[in-house]
Structure 1
Amino acid sequence: MHDEAPHRELIRRLHSDLPEGRVVTDPGVMAGYAHDEAEWAPYGNPAAVVRPRTAEEVQRVVRACLDHGAAVVTRGAGTGLSGGANAVDGSVVLSTEAMTAIKQIDPLERLAIVEPGVVNDDLRAACAEQDLWYPPDPASAPWSTIGGNVATNAGGLCCVKYGVTRDYVLGLQFVTGTGELVRVGRRTAKGVAGYDLTGLLVGSEGTLGVITEVTVRLRPSRAPEHTVAGFFSSVVDAGHAVAAVAAAGVVPSALELIDRYCLEAVDAWKHMGLSTEADVVLLGRTDAPGKAGEEEAETIRRCFEGAGATWAVRSTDPQEADALFEARRLAYPALERLGPVLTEDICVPKSAVPEMLGRIHAIAERHETLIANIAHAGDGNLHPLLITPPGDEPARARAQAAFHDIIAEALALGGTVTGEHGVGLLKREGLRAEVGPEVMALNHAVKDALDPRGLFNPGKVLGR
């Protein structure tokens, strides 16, 4: 246990330095900020939760924590799945939820400047009003924030064609480990002045600074999408269809996998009338304009059919197509209603998707664990969902063993331990296995340079 006296002095300082209402110390309220959505990831008791509204207020929080030796754990919407936003004992949880301004949308330069608490879908809606589009679209886009997306380099459904968050972040404002408020990056289309500190901060999971403003690149609004649905009797057949689409040279705007377990869970929750006639459904989309889009959709359909689809068709009902993609987004919260869900986030080469899906199936059988499957299949980013009955400790142990086996198999196939959820607490061993001791040393050197006091999110990613 931490001595309470330093906490009292820290809290007094925070109250003194910040406007009224920013600092929360009620245990009941703080409990809701102590952890993210990662199942079984450990968390501690924070000394306080702070909800600043400006970059200058964030800076004051960091400086107070520096003076009092308290860790800073930055939190967005708390939708993370790796434990990256989990509190440590005696820390200050810095929530960016009140920093929600969309400061600028510039149609000429095609960029937006936003605060970190802006919800992803809110930014996309604001851009759409000016015929612009912000592509990164994690399944949590209706709830997750741009700051959290930047912290984990989030991807989503569109990233198979349009890239991930890092590809759209032009510049950042953030508070450093020495309490300075700085800007990195640019607003111009080109720029190679100095090291890419912006890219370094993206995906750093709150371990290198506190982001207070983000400048993102935008694209023009795109053509309406064509949707192709395919039913498959096994995840392996669906994996072969993914590889076939890539081999055909088509770059879909989305290529998503969802299995029967997920569809049934969503339909039981939302009563959407979803078909569960197949064990696995692949959803492909193309946004190529005009006739090219129709041709690409037909190519995707033929790839599905050639890989063994029991049914494959181009959707002529936009509402039905949107319902299927909405089911994909709702799969995780739907399954979570049924019991603890341990979520994986591996990524393998597209050619290895069928083999990896087969290995996941074998792992499920070996560990007697129910594993449902959703995936950004088009870029090899797989999200096996390990489901356990509430309170069943042996099932929990088996699921955790399966979790580690999936990581090992992904690495064996030339993949990575996390595609978009981050390392957080759950993937630290996997990170070490993936990059090796020499690269881990480089990571530690970067951490020490930008956060010399070890202030930010201790214990996450690198283990200290």
Structure 2
Amino acid sequence: MNAHVTLLDPHFLDALRTSLQEGQISVDAADLQTYAIDQGPVTDYQQPVAVVWAESVADVQAVVRAAATHKVPLVTRGAGTGVSGGAHATAGSVVLNLTRMNQILEINPDDEIARVEPGVINGDLNDAVAAYGLMFAPDPASFKISTIGGNIATNAGGLRCAKYGVTRDAVLSLDVVMADGSLIHTGHRTFKGVAGYDLTGLFVGSEGTLGIVVGATVRLRYLPAIVRTLAVFFPSVQQAAAGVLAVGAARVQPCILELLDGPSLKELDFRNGSTLSQRGNALLLIQFDGLAAEAEEAIAAVELEKLGGFVSRENPAEAQRLVELRRNNRGLDVDAENRVGEDVAVPRSQLVHYITALEEMAVRHGVELQVIAHAGDGNLHPTFSVPTFEPAGIKALNAALDESIDKALELGGTITGEHGVGQYKLRWLPLEQAKEVLELQRSIKALFDPQGILNPGKAIPAAS
């Protein structure tokens, strides 16, 4: 991949050096290459002209002010675990890395909140609050390495979404550096608060295009004392998908409700030496937590056995192993030209129809398919692949991807459930949102970032 070479503005560099230390700025070729992309598919490879590591709010403000003065694009990133290209460098950009802003500023167990800097690792926050019997509920598969700032930027989800919701549901207030370098505070420390427009909710999921989050107050949840886990294997993935509705109809509330199809189980076995695929052609991995966990588990088991499921009540060690296998499933291979994992969501009532349609289109286009899903909230991650990089295969792969998006929208779904639009999904956003809605969002972007320097080319497509 070759990128057009853009030189770093020396006046901008001088401004950075005035405000930052030598170890916070790099134009080294290895750093430029390392921080050019995240884990998403690359549609327009560009290397940044510099990488800057902020260590304080004042650092971020200084960088943004210099960028605004010299009209330099800024791409803010954390650990780079995103899979939609939201942190890909753009032409002439500087990558602003926030991973050194990694302090937990406050844990208040009485108010059940924590205040954190954006570079705090999700898993580290959970380790810290566990001592108080609390947890930060959003748990993307990358929770051991992804940052809270990155989770906020993409409105990340995870396995526990079925019960606890996505990142937006856990963010109470934000400190944000705006495109002119000014600092604002949004939201509140309370769980409830409806004063004014919900700017906190607007910033969550905006992918760094409206402002740069430099601090967050997040809501914590009770760490459950009782957890019960079911592994339910089915003869077909359609029966497993039907089991999701059966669990809902039984009016029990899993904290985790995951679906894996046969090809996904086989790949997990190949990678990990497990024997999951010998137990069935699809798996529902279900976890209940809280004081009612045992009763809910019993009710779910009865309903799923009626659908032909083979129910296995897992001990804590095996349950933890299965959950870890599921978490690692999406990251078995980084997306490549011949393998792309999708992130769509459909109404839960359409899960069976959508999975059946995916299987049919995979056969028709001659591509391989694996389906895993946060089935509890209808969020699917189908992965399409072809064995080689031959043009005909890549064409078939892209055709299947496009059709999978069209079908999700036809069934009342969305092009992204938790990964964000980034750079990769810009082409599909106009299929979901009317031109009037896109124009309104462009107006918001222009209001917050009149020069267009904050993560340009992401989240919202430019006007045609």
Aligned match of 2:188: 186
Moved more, 319-328 or 181-190: 181-190
Alignment of 1:27-426 (within 5 A): 27-271=29-273, 274=276, 276-289=278-291, 292-309=292-309, 311-315=310-314, 317-336=315-334, 340-389=338-387, 391-426=389-424
Q: What do the CA deviations read for 1:216-238 (whole angstroms, capped 9, x no partner)?
A: 01122223211111112222111
**In 2, Cα distance between the equivalents of 1:340 and 1:277?**
30
AA at the equivalent of 1:374: I
Aligned 8 A contact 1:45 1:87 in 2:
yes
> CA shift at 1:184, angstroms?
1.0
> CA shift at 1:340, angstroms?
4.9
Aligned 8 A contact 1:255 1:282 in 2:
yes
Are 2:454 and 1:436 equivalent residues in the alignment?
no
**In 2, Cα distance between the equivalents of 1:455 and 1:188?**
33
Aligned 8 A contact 1:71 1:456 in 2:
yes
Aligned 8 A contact 2:174 2:185 in 1:
yes
AA at the equivalent of 1:99: M
Aligned 8 A contact 1:341 1:387 in 2:
yes
Structure 1 242/212 Cα, relative in aligned 2: closer, same or farther at 3 Å? same
| Local SS of the residue matching 2:453 | coil
Identity among equivalent pairs (%) = 44
Aligned 8 A contact 2:155 2:167 in 1:
yes
**In 1, Cα distance between the equivalents of 2:337 and 2:122?**
27
**In 2, Cα distance between the equivalents of 1:276 and 1:186?**
51
Residue correspondences, number: 459
**In 2, Cα distance between the equivalents of 1:3 and 1:24?**
15
Q: What do the CA deviations read for 1:242-297 (whole angstroms, capped 9, x no partner)?
A: 111112212211100123333333343344565543221110111141xx322211
**In 2, Cα distance between the equivalents of 1:445 and 1:376?**
33
Moved more, 393-402 or 412-421: 393-402
**In 2, Cα distance between the equivalents of 1:27 and 1:393?**
32
Structure 1 67/348 Cα, relative in aligned 2: closer, same or farther at 3 Å? same
**In 2, Cα distance between the equivalents of 1:306 and 1:39?**
42
AA at the equivalent of 1:312: V
Moved more, 124-133 or 12-21: 12-21
| Local SS of the residue matching 1:382 | strand
Aligned 8 A contact 1:253 1:286 in 2:
yes
Structure 1 264/164 Cα, relative in aligned 2: closer, same or farther at 3 Å? same
TM-score by length of 2: 0.95
Aligned 8 A contact 1:260 1:276 in 2:
no
Structure 1 3/347 Cα, relative in aligned 2: closer, same or farther at 3 Å? closer
Where do 5+ consecutive residues of structure 1 fail to align? Answer: none
Structure 1 421/224 Cα, relative in aligned 2: closer, same or farther at 3 Å? same
Aligned 8 A contact 2:74 2:454 in 1:
yes
AA at the equivalent of 1:420: E
Structure 1 23/388 Cα, relative in aligned 2: closer, same or farther at 3 Å? farther
Moved more, 383-392 or 280-289: 383-392
Structure 1 338/415 Cα, relative in aligned 2: closer, same or farther at 3 Å? closer
> CA shift at 1:426, angstroms?
2.0
Structure 1 96/394 Cα, relative in aligned 2: closer, same or farther at 3 Å? farther
Q: What do the CA deviations read for 1:178-227 (whole angstroms, capped 9, x no partner)?
A: 21112111112332222111110000011101111111011222232111
* Root-mean-square deviation over aligned CA pairs: 1.8
Structure 1 61/337 Cα, relative in aligned 2: closer, same or farther at 3 Å? closer
Aligned 8 A contact 2:40 2:335 in 1:
no
Aligned 8 A contact 1:36 1:86 in 2:
yes
Aligned match of 1:459: 457
Q: What do the CA deviations read for 1:297-321 (whole angstroms, capped 9, x no partner)?
A: 1222223222232x22222x21111
**In 2, Cα distance between the equivalents of 1:3 and 1:202?**
31
**In 2, Cα distance between the equivalents of 1:101 and 1:274?**
40
Structure 1 236/462 Cα, relative in aligned 2: closer, same or farther at 3 Å? same
> CA shift at 1:354, angstroms?
0.8
> CA shift at 1:90, angstroms?
0.8
AA at the equivalent of 2:11: E
Where do 5+ consecutive residues of structure 2 fail to align? Answer: none
**In 1, Cα distance between the equivalents of 2:112 and 2:172?**
11
> CA shift at 1:384, angstroms?
0.5
> CA shift at 1:68, angstroms?
1.3
**Which of 8, 13, 30 pairs up with 1:11?**
13
Structure 1 61/390 Cα, relative in aligned 2: closer, same or farther at 3 Å? farther
Moved more, 448-457 or 251-260: 251-260
Aligned 8 A contact 1:266 1:330 in 2:
no
AA at the equivalent of 2:137: P
| Local SS of the residue matching 2:433 | helix
| Local SS of the residue matching 2:305 | helix
**In 2, Cα distance between the equivalents of 1:229 and 1:247?**
19
| Local SS of the residue matching 2:173 | strand
Aligned 8 A contact 2:237 2:262 in 1:
no
AA at the equivalent of 2:160: C
